[in-house]
Chains A and B, each alone.
Chain A
Amino acid sequence: MANLIDELRIKIIDTLKLEDVSPEDMGEEDQLVGGELGLDSIDVLEMVIMIEKDYSVKIDNKKLGARVFANLKTLAAHIEETAPEGVF
């Protein structure tokens, strides 16, 4: 899962254009939304799309999203659990 988390750090920085953030700044249990990174609901939607595109994992309701996007660890865990065969 560590590899996936590293990968997600880079993808999130890239997708959300977080130019002033480096992967090392993103702790795996740091709050993703509403935390230091200053991410909001639109950023969540961008991440939703990136995750569906790159991992074929759909996050299409707010409740699920709130749980999954709590931090990098929960996000990676969800992706590993629900990604269809062949993604990894």
Chain B
Amino acid sequence: MGLITPLGSGVDRNWTALLKGKTGIGVLTLFPTANDLSFPVGQVTKSFPPEGPPRTHQLALMAAEEAIDHTIGPPDAIIMGSTTGGMSRTEELLKEKQLSPTLFSYHSTGSVAEYLALKMKCKGPVITVSTACSSGATAIAMALALLKTGRFKKILVGGAESLCRLTYFGFHSLQLIDPHGSRPLDSDRKGLTVSEGAGMMLLESSDKIMDTETIEVLGAGLSCDAYHPASPDPEGAGALSAMKGALNDAGISPSEIDYVNLHGTGTVDNDLAEAKAFNRLFDQHRPLVSSVKGTFGHSLSAAGAIEAVVSAKCVEAGIAPSSVGLHTPDPRLELNPLRESKDAPIRTVLSNAFGFGGSNTSLVVGRSREIQGKTQGETQSAASPLPIPLEVSGIACITGAGNTSETLNAFTKGLNCRGLLSEKEISSSLSTRAARRLKRLSRMGLSLATAACGDAGDSKKPGAVFFGTGWGALSETHDFLNALYETDERFSSPTDFMGSVHNATAGRIAVKFNATGPNITTTGGDYSFEQALMSAHLLAKEDDRPFLVMGADEFHPELSRLFDASVRKGKTPSDGGGALLVKRGKTGSGPKLEPLFYENGNGNPQVVSSLVQCLGGNEKIDLDFGAVFAGLPAASRTMGRKQLDLFIQTAGFKGPVIDYRRYLGEFASASAVATVLAASLLKTGKISSRLTEKETVDLNGKGIVLLGLGNFVTAVAVYDGKGSS
């Protein structure tokens, strides 16, 4: 494990200081603020040279270095939670109007994990979740699910965040900051303290290690409040659902929890809602309880991971930490929080991370042998077969050419779909009231979700949302910073801040459909949709409610060209997205959707042969797939083209290969649109001569494989329900 927090560097130093009741909350010195806008923060006492990557990346690396064990080789995968990414640098550059694109190369939230992958030489999947305050815990939940597939043995996972104006002034505009420093669970609490840091873990699969020293992540539960973009459900229903889900996943009952590490931010609403959930769950047995955010502050995406590390230490040491910052426990919470750290046998800990936008994750951490009489093999199928493929019941897409049918029409004719659909057209299915506070990305997202559900004609509304976006809500980000700078950093818009978090769109979709299951936003650049699909595959519950798998990106006239090198090279500003309403099923007749492959394209010379092998070799590829849809982002086109040519050669693939960005344009979620189009074309069973540039090709019941190429190599299969595999 690894930690870097305002309390210090390293797990041991942090643990010692935590137990001594120290606090890392103090004065902000990273950037200047007006006197009356100066609030306590949790600031890591370290500065980094300006030539290197931004602060979030550096903090992530410090914690990762501590967590990794170089003697056992690189991790098989890396999963990170981040909300800010390179924002601390980006906002400075924008403020000073230094607008050279190369300066922004580390902006994306996804670039943190990619930086770690480079440093750790990871060849496998590199995934980024951005679900605000639950990100770090969500990343751990995903790692757990990935390990259970048996295909990966060691995963580097965690969360990292740095202080920046966006979050500092953003939370202030929502009046959620306590000017005296956060006092979780206190009668007089007034809000949170924005903080920074990183928490990392190296998780290894449990069939390998089974001794008394081992501490495990035993289970995870995910839910969504589906209530409001900035306030938690006051009854704590979503919180309760996540907590129960974690216990179920771990196969334990509430009475087996010895300590609960609350999300406990110190806001009036969160602590109350969380306490209600706690009291409902622990109505018989009352575990020890505290919040450590009076010590560490609230480091947003890092918090869930930092606190998972703390939880593991609690089990190891047999000590539960106190609630620093607490003077008078609020009687309305009906909790008995620890006022001093307590020595006690701690077998299992429940740790909560509840995100802005309603995305909730709870983790159970404990010793593996302490599950009464049950071995790991009985509670979870450790090396289970791949989850049941997803079946598509409804689809929708948006491109410059228009909606689903307009795009499909243009695409099959080999016509250009590039461009930007008007604001009016992307909002046509939304009422004025509903769309009032929404800007481009959210409007697209809601329209896509509505259209996909409409296409399914299903009366069952989606229960979960898995949304990929390379760049998030650029309009809100731009407008927030603009308003802030124009007023000399005195005023900013709470609506824009709320809308700027990457998971805002998925959160709003959840509210619309009351989708209270997992709500995940993945931000892996050009592979964000593929990551969303993987998340769905790993985390969607096996019940009968369908769920949405989506990808969308907006073009912003000022920011897109600065951030996305492929957009810079694209001929026409383009944006759009795709949505598929899916469910787990073997019985239906809809197309099947399956993520098959995801590896690093850099530092991985065998990636193409690995891909061919994963798809089953030449004969199977020929049997399964009638066409390849290739995603070649312009910025890495040369590299991508080499990979594609090598694939065609190695696999001996003779079918049509369609370079879809040529038609759809350059935007990070183009693969979502391509997947929707592939699912459509399966129905007709033909790829037109305009697309193949030769003769019309009959698919003959075969599927289509969508390859993502360039910095990462991915494969997603879309095939007929009655097809092979």
Contact = CB atoms under 8 A, between A and B. Distances in A.
A22 B490 CA distance: 30
A16 B436 contact: yes
Contacts of B173: 45, 49
A85 B386 CA distance: 71
Contact of B493 (A38, A49, A60): A49
Contacts of B231: 41
A46 B493 contact: yes
Interface of B is mostly: loop
Contacts of A60: 175
Contact of B495 (A38, A46, A53): A46
A45 B432 CA distance: 21
A16 B493 CA distance: 11
Contacts of B175: 45, 48, 60
**Range, interface on chain B:** 10 to 19
Interface string B415-435: 000000000000000001100
Interface string B466-503: 00000000000000000000010011111100100000
A17 interface: yes
A19 B432 contact: yes
Contacts of B487: 53
A10 interface: no
B460 to A, nearest CB: 28
**Range, interface on chain A:** 10 to 19
Given A16-B436, A42-B230, A52 B498 contact: no
Contacts of A49: 173, 491-494
A20 B433 CA distance: 8
Contacts of A48: 175
B437 interface: yes
A18 interface: yes
Contacts, number: 37
Nearest to B490: A53
B436 A45 contact: no
A80 to B, nearest CB: 22
A20 to B, nearest CB: 5
A39 to B, nearest CB: 10
Contacts of A18: 436
Given A45-B174, A49-B173, A60-B175, A38 B494 contact: no
A53 B437 CA distance: 20
Contacts of A40: 228
Contacts of B493: 46, 49
A17 B491 CA distance: 18
Contact of B494 (A17, A20, A45): A45
Interface string B206-244: 000000000000000000000011110000000000000
Interface string A44-60: 01101100110000001
A49 B37 CA distance: 14
A19 B430 CA distance: 13
Q: Which of A17, A19, A40 has the most CB of B within 10 A?
A: A17
Interface string A7-38: 00000000011111000000000000000001
A17 B174 contact: no
Contact of A42 (B432, B490, B495): B495
B178 to A, nearest CB: 13
A63 to B, nearest CB: 13
Contact of B491 (A19, A38, A53): A53
Contacts of B228: 40
A41 B230 CA distance: 10
Contacts of A52: 491
B276 to A, nearest CB: 19
A20 B174 contact: no
Contacts of B494: 42, 45-46, 49
Nearest to B228: A40
Contacts of A41: 230-231
B229 to A, nearest CB: 8
Contacts of B230: 41-42
Contacts of B492: 49
Nearest to B498: A42
A57 to B, nearest CB: 13
A38 B433 CA distance: 8
Contacts of B433: 20, 38
A74 B494 CA distance: 23
A8 B33 CA distance: 30
B230 to A, nearest CB: 6
B513 to A, nearest CB: 19
Nearest to B174: A45
Interface of A: 16-20, 38, 40-42, 45-46, 48-49, 52-53, 60
15 contacts: A19-B436, A20-B433, A40-B228, A41-B231, A42-B229, A42-B230, A45-B173, A46-B493, A48-B175, A49-B173, A49-B491, A49-B492, A49-B493, A53-B490, A60-B175
Interface of B: 173-175, 228-231, 432-433, 436-437, 487, 490-495, 498
User: Across chains A and B, which 4 residue pairs bring their CB atoms closest together, nearest first?
Assistant: A45-B494, A20-B432, A17-B436, A53-B491
Given A18-B436, A46-B494, A49-B494, 7 more contacts: A17-B436, A19-B432, A20-B432, A38-B433, A49-B173, A49-B493, A52-B491
